Amino acid sequence: MAANATSYQVSPSEKRLALVFILTGFAHLLIGILMGLLQGLEHMGINLIPSMPVIQTYYQALSIHGVFNVLLFTSFFIVGFLGYMASYGFERPLASVRLGWVTYWVMLVGALLTDWALLANRATVLYTSYAPLKAHPAYYIGLALVVVGTLLLLLNLVRTYLAWRRERPGERIPLLSFGALVTFIMWGMASVGIVVEFVFFLIPWSLGWVAEVDPLLTRTFFWESGHPIVYFWLLPAYLSWYFLLPRQAGGRLFSEPLARLAFLLFIPLSLPVGFHHQFLDPGVSQGYKAIHTVLTFAIFIPSMMTAFTVLASLELGGRARGGQGLLGWVTKLPWKDPVFTGQALGMLLFALGGVSGLINASYTLNLEVHNTLFIPGHFHLTVGAAVVMTFMATSFWLIPHLTGRALWNRPLALVQVILWAVGMTFMSRGMSWAGMLGAPRRTMLGAATYREAAWNEPLELVGVGGVILTIAGILFFLNLVLTLLNRRPAGEVEVPLAEPLPEAGPLPQYLDRFMPWVVSGALLVLIGYGPTIFRLLTTMQTVAAPALNPF
């Protein structure tokens, strides 16, 4: 076994905690995926929604799809997974396991409130919750509680870190704990926008305490958190690719210092980029939009560093397994292992998602793709493929590790991740294509009177991809449930912590400190957002919700 791998066992209570978080997350993903199927079929002209129970409109399905998949599934999975990784890395329990359970209950109550409002068609406002679309207060309060939960884990992680520091002065922060801390510190800073939006504006407004809100101001607060949130989803996947996948592939972490640097760079660079969602908004100056373009581009750098280090680590694995020549090592990678293949295919699709992201972020090109189906074509590759496939692949080892029950069917898991990748490829290709022909997103296109004939072929791809995806999704849940019920013991499943190459040498001190990165992030937010937020706050243009309920 690797020299730095530990035999540390996390307590059963923390194992249960991680498990309930992850399963609550997956329960939301299941419902989200079923909505996705309805949307994909609708786009190719087969509208099943009228014959569905509960679901009344296309837009209700879409609201559920967005909120369940990217707000609830992700938050629950990440809090469970990273809380566990941190405590395993530190080789000590969380500062307060009890607080961990409180976090779970707070988030669960929040999720149930939001679920109810969505399923009752009282919150058909889509996950962006743009005012003056007004949802039932339970929707906003529920989401706010979920965010509070994520911040409670941040608090717990920081306290655990400080306690660990006292116990082990002078040691480097262990990689897994480091990744978890960076993710939650970044998110803690990023969440300010959505917290202000909900607590000071949307919740009081939905409760009737204030009559009007400013749509541009609330939207600006939303995107201040709404872009960094994608890095909140992505960094846990990066944690797996950097620190676990190399071992799963039989290799080593190629460059530990650069891995840590890339993580830390995400703290400042994730934050002031939200205007790339508002390029076409009146009331935000072109100068600040240009600044956010530059900063969005800057985040390309740590992403490229990640691509290099992760591929180099995999190459070490392929060569250690006997791979020869320039590319021969690729064939020696453990492609039959669903844990590896799920992540590798996710990374491959992520590369395409990254390229389409550069297009979206490009000030002028954005004009062409803004609010077209090109955008979901982009993020189904990033979050829908890379992040979700990594979380699925992680659950193939983590659930057996947590429960002691063996993965029910390994070959099925392999087929399933491949099917998911194929489905995503078809669907994203269809979406990007339709988007470039001008087809709008968030639109019930099967019923759109203006639908153009040229959109038919790409939208059929969306439907076909959606069906393949749904089959893959159902196979995943079948495997998950039967694993939970499996009587066959998993044996000892290790946390596959990768060992860094020693050549990388000693780490500079600044890679072990968070403060400089936090301060520079705060400064960038002040520069990137301060003047605009100040101007919007001092010249508010408030409006009431429409008299007629729009949904």
- Contacts of other proteins in 74-113 (CB under 8 A): none
127 near other proteins (CB under 8 A): no
Residue whose pair of structure tokens reads 């969005």 in the numeric block: 296
Is 410 marked active-site? no
Size of the site for ligand HEM (CB under 6 A): 26
Q: Which of residues 223-252 bind Cu ion (CB under 5 A)?
A: 227
Is 92 marked active-site? no
Q: Which of 222, 232, 379, 529 is catalytic?
A: 379
Q: Which of 136, 380, 401, 405 is catalytic?
A: 380
Identify the burial level of 549 via C-beta atoms within 10 angstroms of its C-beta, where 0-12 means exposed, 13-18 middle and 19 or more buried: exposed
The item of other proteins, ligand HEM, Cu ion, none sharing an interface with residue 388, based on CB under 5 to 8 Å by kind, is ligand HEM
Member of 196, 235, 383, 475 binding ligand HEM (CB under 6 A): 383
Member of 14, 28, 39, 268 binding ligand HEM (CB under 6 A): 39
Q: Minimum CB separation from ligand HEM for residue 29, in Å?
A: 7
d(CA 170, CA 536) in angstroms, rounded, equals: 46
Q: Which of residues 450-479 bind ligand HEM (CB under 6 A)?
A: 462, 466, 469-470, 473
Q: Which of 300, 442, 514, 551 is catalytic?
A: 442
Is 379 marked active-site? yes
Tell whether omega for the bond before 411 is within 30 degrees of 0, i.e. cis. no
Q: Minimum CB separation from other proteins for residue 439, in Å?
A: 9
**Contact between 446 and 48 (Cβ < 8 Å):** no
Cβ neighbour number for residue 23 with a 10 Å cutoff: 18
Q: Minimum CB separation from ligand HEM for residue 76, in Å?
A: 12
The item of Cu ion, other proteins, ligand HEM, none sharing an interface with residue 227, based on CB under 5 to 8 Å by kind, is Cu ion
CA-wise closest residue to 518 among 261, 223, 269, 177: 269
Residue 413 neighbours by CB under 8 Å, 6+ apart: 338, 342, 396, 407, 476, 479
Enter the DSSP assignment of 276. Answer: G
Q: What is the DSSP string of 345-414?
A: HHHHHHHHHHHHHHHHHSTTTHHHHTTBTHHHHHHIIIIIIIIHHHHHHHHHHHHHHHH-BPPS-HHHHH
3-state secondary structure of 207: coil
The item of ligand HEM, other proteins, Cu ion, none sharing an interface with residue 105, based on CB under 5 to 8 Å by kind, is none
384 near ligand HEM (CB under 6 A): yes
d(CA 94, CA 99) in angstroms, rounded, equals: 9
With b for 16 or more beta-carbon neighbours within 10 A and e for fewer, the 261-280 pattern comes to: bbbbbbbbbbbbbbbbbbbe
Binding mask 49-88 for ligand HEM (x = CB under 6 A): -------------x--xx--xx------------------
Of 158-166, 220-228, 311-319, 441-449: span binding Cu ion (CB under 5 A): 220-228
List of residues contacting ligand HEM (CB under 6 A): 33, 36-37, 39-40, 43, 62, 65-66, 69-70, 126-127, 376, 380, 383-384, 388, 441-443, 462, 466, 469-470, 473
| Positions marked active-site | 227, 231, 378-380, 441-442
